Amino acid sequence: MDYKQLGRDVLELVGGKENVAMLTHCATRLRFEFRDPSKVKASQIEQLPGVISVVDKGGQFQVIVGNEVQQTFREIQKQIGTGALGKGSGHRPSNEKKGWISRFISVISTTFTPMIPAIIGAGMIKAILAVLVLTGALTEQSQTFFVLNTIADAAFFFMPVLLAYGASIKFETSPIMSMTLAGVLLHPNWATVLASEEALHFIGVPVRLTDYAGSVLPIIITVWIMSYIERFAERVSPSMIKFFMKPMLILLVTAPLALVVIGPIGTYLNDLVALGAESINTHASWLIPMLMGMLQPFLIITGTAWAMTPIATDQLSRNGEEMINGPGMLASNIAQGAATLAVAAKTKNKQLKQLAGSAGFTALIGITEPSLYGVTLKLKKPLIAAMIGGGCAGIYAGLSGLVRYAFVSPGLAAVPAFIGSNPMNIVHALITILIAFAVAFAVTWILGFEEPTDKEANKQENRKQTKSESQQEAVSIGGTVASPLSGQLQPLSEVNDDVFSSGLLGKGVAVIPDRDEARAPFSGEVVTFLDSKHAIGLKGDNGIELLIHIGIDTVQLQGEYFEAHVKQGDRIEQGDLLVTFDKKAIVDKGYEVVTPIIVTNHDQFATVKPVEAGPIEHGQPIITVSN
């Protein structure tokens, strides 16, 4: 594969060097920002031999090339000159401006992501309690129910504290001070004053108290304001007394503002949004689930799927159920899986059959990215069928009053999230699933789709030829990959990055590290080590080529918080220290530290089998590879 020619082809199809406002790269992909996005020919770029996929996400146009991305990057950079472009660092121009919608989605995504495990766990406990009560195993008056219900309520009651942490990451301010302000809003003293119905004043200004438990917007706005107050306090506090003067100023200024101004405004906005959703549901209960069921694929593609999360979360915390996201997403996810399985059943292309079969079942359990990006979006007609199926099922979900009781990705694996106080709700959920599957499968079968062309087949063949001659001649003897990290092992499909989770770069696993170091998983050679130090490419004596990618989008850190202990071309032995990193600092900067570990030459082996998820230590086997 001629990666220099690929670079020239990509540059031409993005509109030439005059259209490139920024160019960077990470371990596997080119990252562009353009002066005029309309000049970019994305579909033609995706058809280029050597290009794995194209993703337009988070304000960046990403061309996924794989391990040889540096060659392509260097050729493009040579053509356009370095100028003001990034050099693999991910640095954005200081004058970059985003639309308010993009900024809103970015705030919601970063703020809500850290708290999702807590509300998922709490929601599922609520669903289990509902099942136990319906079957008579527990009564709502029992002490066991009381204890479990309190545990489940905690995440929703203290939601402002959880949101304060996420918001502090987004607005780059102190997490502890942010969570302290959430504690101010939730302090039990306010409940006492509310119960007494006495007027409360602060320096003569009336304080409009409200119940902030489970609220969303007040704390997010408060932390945003606090980020500016913290910078002011940092600037005016003398260095000798900054240790106690800075936090004192932050609390003295921000807390009264939150109680007197920000909290009431945020609560009003909360109530206004909730009232709007309830009004739509009262007058056209089918509308929101239908739109969500039909348009969810586009929300995922455009990165706007988070937009409805605050409303859904607010409904869950207030009412214990929500109808904004869950019902429509259930319809959409099942329809996406059904359309993809219809492709698998109908296609004569063995490669597409295998991909669609795997991605279809994954979509049915609630993870649709492999199906969307790998099958339906490329074939187009199955995507239309999935939208029709999702819309039809969404109409039924809305008319039947279907609600979701837990914050989980809707699919077959999450059916318990629809079990609650209304025993018919689960019945309506199952009917929604049947409608979505039947309609999407049937419409896909009727509409059909274009089988991959010879050009696409050639492209797939070219992808297999992207190794150097020495790599092609190497004998793939296989073996075991030891874990380079200690922590929690999880399936690759759970990684919050479509390129990794969909398997576009290869098969493997991911580790959420609990220590600040990565070690060699086998004996071999360091073939790639980026200047950003977050990604390492290795080739083992056993023929396995491995990518260790520490964190998601951590290329943006430009090597900060990472320290290399080897360099490209070094000989390594299993257990050698490769890189150390400051996990806490990376998380505080707003980045995930989950580390995908990918066998990039997986197509040279008969099997690449990861071990089951769970705790893992350095040196324990995580992947078995064999011919």
Give catalytic residues, as residue numbers. Answer: 26, 549
308 DSSP 8-state letter: G
Query: Distance between CA atoms of 360 and 371, rounded to whole angstroms?
Result: 6
Could you tell me which residues come within 8 angstroms of residue 141 by beta carbon, excluding any fewer than 6 positions away? Answer: none
Query: Distance between CA atoms of 518 and 18, rounded to whole angstroms?
Result: 40
Residue with the two structure tokens 């107050």: 229
Query: Distance between CA atoms of 262 and 254, rounded to whole angstroms?
Result: 9
Query: Distance between CA atoms of 625 and 602, rounded to whole angstroms?
Result: 8
Query: Distance between CA atoms of 249 and 213, rounded to whole angstroms?
Result: 25
- How far is the CA of 83 from the CAs of 23, 70, 94, in angstroms? 10, 18, 14
Tokens representing 317? 């915390």
- Residue 479's φ and ψ, nearest 5 degrees, are 145, -150
- Residue 590: what residue type? G
Helix-strand-coil percent breakdown of the chain, rounded to 5?
55, 15, 30
User: Any bridge partners for residue 56, and if so which?
Assistant: 61
Residue with the two structure tokens 């991305």: 69
Sheet holding 535-540, edge to edge: 571-572, 524-529, 535-540, 545-549, 595-599, 507-513, 487-491, 614-616
- Residue 500: what residue type? F
**CA atoms 356, 359, 361, 366: torsion sign:** negative
Query: Distance between CA atoms of 168 and 185, rounded to whole angstroms?
Result: 16
Query: Distance between CA atoms of 202 and 262, rounded to whole angstroms?
Result: 14
Sheet holding 562-564, edge to edge: 517-519, 577-581, 562-564
Which of 509, 593, 501, 590 lies closest to 547, judged by CA?
509
87 three-state secondary structure = coil
Query: Distance between CA atoms of 39 and 3, rounded to whole angstroms?
Result: 23
Which of 206, 166, 156, 141 lies closest to 186, judged by CA?
156
Query: Distance between CA atoms of 459 and 43, rounded to whole angstroms?
Result: 14
Query: Crossing angle of helices 424-447/381-400, nearest 10°?
Result: 160
Which of 380, 343, 378, 347 lies closest to 360, judged by CA?
343
- How far is the CA of 525 from the CAs of 1, 146, 392, 542, 567, in angstroms? 22, 58, 54, 11, 10
Residue with the two structure tokens 């010879």: 454
Which of 356, 369, 355, 353 lies closest to 411, judged by CA?
369
- DSSP H/E element including 56: strand 53-57
- How far is the CA of 342 from the CAs of 90, 250, 263, 364, 504, in angstroms? 40, 58, 50, 13, 21
